[in-house]
Amino acid sequence: MADRRAIDGPPDVIIIGGGHNALVCAAYLAAGKRRVVVLEARNDLGGMAGTGQVLEGFKGPLTAHLLHGFSAEVVKELRLSRHGFKLSPHKLPTVVLDPDGRNLVLTGEPKHDAQALAIVSNNDAANYQRFMDRLNAHATALRPLFESTPPAQAGAAPATQLGALEKIAATLKPRQSQDLMRVAAMSIGDLLDDSFEHPTLKALFAIEALAGSPAGAYAPMTAFPLLLERASRGRGAISGYPEGGLGGLAEALRKAATDRGANIRTGSKVVKINVDQGRATSVDMANGERL
């Protein structure tokens, strides 16, 4: 299905896939007067940020359930509120199930969480806030990474990232600098074993660090994603549960992109990208169309 409000003429940009990142790019490119076509193989947009029927009569998240670290600047510039984007006012606690029935229910309120943790471990209850303060201090130091321009060449990325981390560490007090570099190289399993004793609490932070990764808990450098995840929650970031699920965000982005002239086509599977002298020139569709 194509949107009829698109700018006429051959496209300047073809975006394959209609996930939330693709829709943000389409909206900005279209606002810059580029002729943009988004090709999504499925009949719905959003990718992993989609909402669909999970049971008869019930809709829910198909993959991601939480909007996390989304740019407030993007929300403002694309006027997503005008297009129906709205966060639910309800604050849901984090629940960690325990095989012995001593489930953790954490709300983010320090006094409540300390009492909840004391049920499973007095030592962990005492250490929890110190651990959070340590994470947050490192996350604050890492936040400039999210505001910097990515490397232009993929091959230079690891060296560039390491150099950026070293520059950040050089601005910190020696003790924090040493701890940041130490934690960044650790496995999440070792970090949590050093910090807590109860496996349920360790599981909470481990899943936060390892979500979407094939690595095991004791693989090197698996603690670093936890720091980056915390850094993404900082200044200018939005987290919460959109009304309508993550699909509500995708729909608002679709409206923002099409209002700016982007052509969004669902049910449009790309089977081949044609390249001439290192430059993408066209794509072939499953229906035989070349664009």
Q: What is the pLDDT of residues 240-284, one digit of tens each?
A: 889 888 999 999 999 999 999 999 999 999 999 999 999 999 999
Burial per residue of 256-284, b for 16 or more beta-carbon CB atoms within 10 angstroms, e otherwise: bbbbbbbbbbbebebeeeeeeeeeeeebe
The per-residue pLDDT for 210 is: 94
Interatomic CA distance for residues 135 and 186, integer angstroms:
14
Give 45 or 233, the one with higher predicted confidence. 45
Gap between the Cα atoms of 71 and 9, Å rounded: 32
pLDDT, greater one: 144 or 219:
219
Rounded to the nearest 5 degrees, what angle is found at the Cα of 109, between the Cα atoms of 107 and 114?
90
Topology of the domain comprising 13-88+241-285: FAD/NAD(P)-binding domain (3.50.50)
Those residues with Cβ within 8 angstroms of residue 41's Cβ, 6 or more apart along the chain or in another chain: 17, 267, 268, 269, 270, 286
Task: Tell me the C-alpha distance between 246 and 70, whole Å.
Answer: 12
pLDDT band at 7 (very low <50, low <70, confident <90, very high): low
pLDDT band at 90 (very low <50, low <70, confident <90, very high): confident
Q: Say whether pLDDT at 209 is over 70.
A: yes
What global pTM score does this model have? 0.80
Q: What is the mean pLDDT of residues 111-121?
A: 91
User: Would you state the pLDDT for residue 239?
Assistant: 85
Q: Mean pLDDT throughout 142-163?
A: 65
Domain boundaries, the chain: 13-88+241-285, 94-238
Query: What SS3 class is residue 246?
Result: helix
Q: Measure the CA–CA gap between 151 and 159, rounded to whole angstroms.
A: 10
Average pLDDT over residues 161-168: 69
CB count, 10 Å around CB of 3? 18
Q: Which pair of tokens denotes residue 236?
A: 């200018």
